[in-house]
C-alpha cells in the first residue's frame, strides 16, 4: 500500500505549462511522473522505462547513486497516488527526449536554459525584469510557433554544409510556411501519441473533415509535386490556408483544425483550374 506524506503543493508556470510541485517534509521538491511525461507528449510509462534504462544507469555510473524507481506515494489532500520525480530526473528525461528528436522536449530544455541565463545576467547587471516579462518570453518560446522556429533553426544547423541554405536568403513568407508545416508535423505527432486518450476518436475524423497534412498530401498527389512547402503555398494562394474560413476546430484533446468535405471539393476544383492554367 502506498505511503501517505504531508506535503505543501504549489503550481509553477513554465510559459503556459502548469506544473504542480510538492515540497516534502525534508524541503525537497518533487513532480509527479505523469506531469513530467505529459508535458513532452509521452506516455506516463515512459518515465518508468527511463528509470530502469541503461541510459540512466550509465549516466550515473558505477556509484552508490545507482538509481531505483521511486515508490508510489500519496500526498495528503491529493486524489491519486504519484511516483515522485526529482527535478534532476525530470530534466534528464526531457534532455533524452530532446536528443531523440522530440520537438517539445527540445523547446523546454532550451527555454529553461535561456530563462536561467537571462536571470543570471540580469542579476549581474542589476537589471530588474518582472516575473511577467520572464513568463512572457517562456510562453513565446514554448508556443507552437516558437517550437517550430526552434526546429527550423535546429534542422538548418544540422543540415549538411553543401545543402544548407542561409536563413538570410529565404523570404519571410517562405520561413512562415516552413514554420507552419513544422507546426502541422508537431500536431500530427501529438494526435498519434494521444490516440488512446482521445475524447473524439481519431478514426472518426474522416467523417467530419480532412486534417491539414492530408489536405497537403492530396493536393501534392494531384499536382505531382514533391515539395510540401510549395504545395501549401499554392493552397494559401488559392484562398484555402489553415487560417481561412474553410477550416473549423474539432476537439480531440488540444484541438485540431479540419477542412470540411464541401471545402475539399471546391479546393479540388480550384486546383484543377490552376493545372489547366499552367498548360
DSSP readout, 199-247? Answer: SS-GGGGGGT-B-HHHHHHHHHHHHT---HHHHHHHHHHTT--TTSTTE
Q: Given this model, what pLDDT does residue 70 score?
A: 73
> Is residue 232 a contact partner of residue 180, using CB atoms and an 8 Å limit?
yes
> Which residue ranges make up each domain of the chain?
3-142, 144-278
Instruction: Give residue 272's pLDDT.
Output: 87
What does the alpha-carbon distance between residue 233 and residue 175 come to, in Å, rounded to a whole number? 11
Whole-number pLDDT of residue 68 = 67
Q: Are 151 and 68 in contact (CB under 8 A)?
A: no
* Residue 172 pLDDT: 64
Q: Residue 256: its pLDDT value, please?
A: 57
Length of the chain: 279
pTM above 0.75, yes or no: no
Helix, strand, coil percentages in the chain from 3-state DSSP, rounded to 5: 55, 15, 30
Per-residue model confidence as pLDDT tens for the chain (279 residues): 567 777 888 888 888 888 999 888 888 899 999 999 999 999 888 888 888 887 777 666 554 455 666 778 777 777 778 888 999 999 999 999 998 889 999 999 999 999 999 888 888 888 888 888 888 888 888 888 888 888 888 877 765 554 444 444 456 667 667 767 777 777 776 666 655 454 555 555 566 677 777 788 888 888 888 887 888 888 888 888 877 777 766 554 445 567 777 888 888 888 888 888 876
Q: How far apart are CA 51 and CA 200, in angstroms?
A: 32
Amino acid at each position: 500500500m502506498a505511503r501517505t506524506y504531508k506535503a505543501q503543493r504549489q503550481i509553477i508556470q513554465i510559459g503556459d505549462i502548469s506544473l504542480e510541485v510538492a515540497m516534502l517534509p525534508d524541503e525537497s521538491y518533487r513532480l509527479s511522473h505523469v506531469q513530467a511525461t505529459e508535458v513532452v507528449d509521452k506516455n506516463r510509462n515512459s518515465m518508468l522505462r527511463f528509470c530502469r534504462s541503461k541510459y540512466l544507469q550509465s549516466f550515473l555510473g558505477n556509484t552508490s547513486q545507482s538509481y531505483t524507481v521511486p515508490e508510489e506515494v500519496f500526498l495528503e489532500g491529493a486524489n491519486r497516488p504519484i511516483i515522485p520525480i526529482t527535478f534532476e530526473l525530470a530534466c534528464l528525461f526531457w534532455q533524452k527526449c530532446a536528443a531523440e528528436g522530440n520537438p517539445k522536449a527540445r523547446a523546454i530544455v532550451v527555454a529553461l536554459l535561456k530563462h536561467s541565463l537571462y536571470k543570471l545576467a540580469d542579476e549581474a547587471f542589476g537589471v530588474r525584469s518582472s516575473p511577467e516579462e520572464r513568463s512572457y518570453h517562456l510562453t513565446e518560446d514554448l508556443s507552437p510557433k516558437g517550437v517550430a522556429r526552434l526546429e527550423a533553426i535546429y534542422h538548418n544547423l544540422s543540415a549538411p554544409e553543401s545543402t544548407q541554405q542561409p536563413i538570410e536568403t529565404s523570404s519571410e513568407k517562405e520561413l512562415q510556411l516552413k514554420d507552419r508545416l513544422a507546426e502541422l508535423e508537431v500536431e500530427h505527432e501529438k494526435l498519434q501519441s494521444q490516440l488512446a486518450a482521445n475524447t473524439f476518436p481519431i478514426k472518426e475524423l474522416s467523417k467530419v473533415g480532412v486534417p491539414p497534412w492530408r489536405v497537403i498530401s492530396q493536393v501534392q498527389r494531384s499536382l505531382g509535386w514533391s515539395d510540401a512547402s510549395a504545395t501549401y503555398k499554392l493552397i494559401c494562394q488559392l484562398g484555402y490556408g489553415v487560417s481561412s474560413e474553410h477550416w473549423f476546430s474539432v476537439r480531440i484533446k488540444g484541438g485540431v483544425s479540419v477542412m470540411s468535405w464541401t471545402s475539399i471539393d471546391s479546393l479540388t476544383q480550384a486546383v484543377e483550374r490552376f493545372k489547366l492554367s499552367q498548360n
